[in-house]
Amino acid sequence: MRHLRLFAVLVPALALSAGVFAPVRAGAEEWQKTYPITTKASLTVITGDVPIELRGCAECHAVKIVVDWKDRNPSDFLLKESQAGDMVDFELGEKVKWGIHFGLSHSPHVTVETPANLDLQARTSDGSLKVLGVQGDIRLHTSDGAVDVVDVGGSLQLVASDGAINMHNVTGRLDSKSSDGHATIDGKFTELHVHTSDGSLELTVGEGSKLSAASRIETSDGKVTLRLPRALDADLDVQTGDGKINCDLPLKMDGFNTAGSGHHLRGHLNAGGAPLTIHASDGSVTITAL
């Protein structure tokens, strides 16, 4: 990520809580540290405008964090890190700057290697977020940046304000809220809560998925394309405010209503089961079989 720095404002550093401020040496190409883990890791990573790439490692028994400073001066940043038992906290924030600054520079980059089984909180303010190959309670947040999630399972919660969302081979429970950007998601799910405010949604519910709780898929402004296994048991409730409903799967119909430019369909997939609600305020809904 490259930033053109031409501004005359205060750039705040992160509000860093109590912890250990790690010294960063001017001219250093990178900073790194390894944190040994005895049972299950609990990791918090907060990086402001700096991208994060995190990868799980099945054989690893430590968390390793590397900061590649690119062409930036490490002394421009505050780095805080600490470990208490198996709990690791890492925060990186840019220092306060006054005045006008000219120049074209890269953002630093944070790379994390971690045991595959962990509880994770990762947050960026204006930086991309990539998470691969982990299982556990996973909570991700980015205000402005693309999100890539691959081979992640357990309970996944994502909040993304502005940026494309790509999730592949997600398993378990998913709660995803994105405000501005196309979302592409596939996986084997037990529960789904997916909302996009301004962007289309492509969602594939993989073979073997069994919804064990009420699930909801919603877009405020964008179409929904949903691919479902033919064997999925669910009670469908599909509604559009301004758009068509197309369903290629056989349904035991409970009702179909049309009001103005919107439509409302209710029915059972196979034996029926947990409610699956699909709502598009401004856009069509297409449901096809895998």
What distance separates the 2 farthest-apart alpha carbons in the chain? 68
286 and 226 Cβ atoms separated by less than 8 Å: yes
Residues 110 and 192 in one domain: no
In tens, the pLDDT along 164-191 reads 899 999 999 999 999 887 899 999 999 9
The number of angstroms, rounded, from the C-alpha of 123 to the middle of its chain's C-alpha atoms is: 10
Please state the rounded mean pLDDT for residues 184-212: 95
pLDDT tens readout for residues 207-247: 999 999 999 999 988 899 999 999 999 999 999 998 899 99
Q: Is 165:176 a contact under the CB 8 Å cutoff?
A: yes
> Within its chain, how far is the Cα of 98 from the centroid?
33
Of 5-14, 32-41, 183-192, least confident by mean pLDDT is 5-14
Co-location of 111 and 172 in the same domain: no
Place of tokens 């996944």: 156
CA distance 190 to 186: 13
- Range in 20-24, 104-108, 187-191, 248-252 the model is least confident about: 20-24
Joined together, the tokens standing for residue 36 give 């040994």
Same domain, 263 and 180: yes
Mean pLDDT of 190-196: 96
Q: Give, for 187, the enclosing helix (H) or strand (E).
A: strand 183-196
Query: Is 73 in the same domain as 11?
Result: yes
pLDDT cut 90: percent of the chain above it: 71
pLDDT of residue 258: 83
Q: Flag whether pLDDT at 262 surpasses 60.
A: yes
* Residue that the structure tokens 């709660």 belong to: 175
Domain match, 180 and 64 both: no
User: What is the mean predicted confidence (pLDDT) over 93-116?
Assistant: 79
How many Å apart are CA 94 and CA 138, to the nearest integer? 25
| One domain, residues 169 and 289 | yes
Buried b (16+ CB within 10 A) or exposed e, 47-70: bbbbbbbbbbeeebebbebebbbe
Q: Are 81 and 183 in a shared domain? A: no
**Encoded tokens for 181:** 């950007």
pLDDT at 226: 97
Query: pLDDT-derived band of residue 7, with 50, 70 and 90 as boundaries?
Result: very low
Question: Which pLDDT band holds residue 87 (cuts at 50, 70, 90)?
Answer: very high
Query: pLDDT band at 18, cuts 50/70/90?
Result: very low
What is the domain extent for residue 195? 164-290
Residue 151 falls inside a structural domain: no
Residue 3 — pLDDT band, cuts 50, 70, 90? very low
**Based on the structure, what is the number of domains in the chain?**
2
Q: Is 64 within a domain? A: yes
Of 115, 147, 176, at which residue does a domain stop? 115
Same-domain check for residues 195 and 284:
yes
β-pair type (41-46, 118-124): parallel
**pLDDT for res 235:** 97
Using alpha carbons, select from 144, 142, 110, 147 the residue that is nearest to residue 132: 147
Mean pLDDT over 55-79 rounds to 96
Residues 284 and 170 in one domain: yes
Cα of first residue to Cα of last residue in the chain, in angstroms, is 37
Q: So what's the pLDDT on residue 19?
A: 53
Cα angle 158, 163, 168; round to 5: 55
What pLDDT does residue 104 have? 56
The first and second tokens of residue 169, run together, are: 């081979």
In the beta sheet, which residues pair with residue 44?
A: 89, 121
Q: Out of 99, 115, 131, pick the residue that ends a domain.
A: 115
Using CA atoms, how far apart are residues 53 and 73, in angstroms rounded to an integer?
A: 21
Given a cut of 50, is residue 261 above it in pLDDT? yes
User: Is residue 81 located within the same domain as residue 180?
Assistant: no
Quick one: which of 164, 278, 157, 151 has its CA closest to 227? Answer: 278
Domain match, 272 and 170 both: yes
Please tell me whether residues 106 and 184 are part of one structural domain: no
* Cα 113–Cα 3–Cα 198 angle in degrees, nearest 5: 80
Q: Domain for residue 133, yes or no?
A: no
In the chain, the percentage of residues whose pLDDT exceeds 70 is 88
Last residue of a domain, one of 57, 84, 115: 115
Does the pLDDT value for residue 6 go beyond 50? no
Q: What is the pLDDT of residue 207?
A: 97
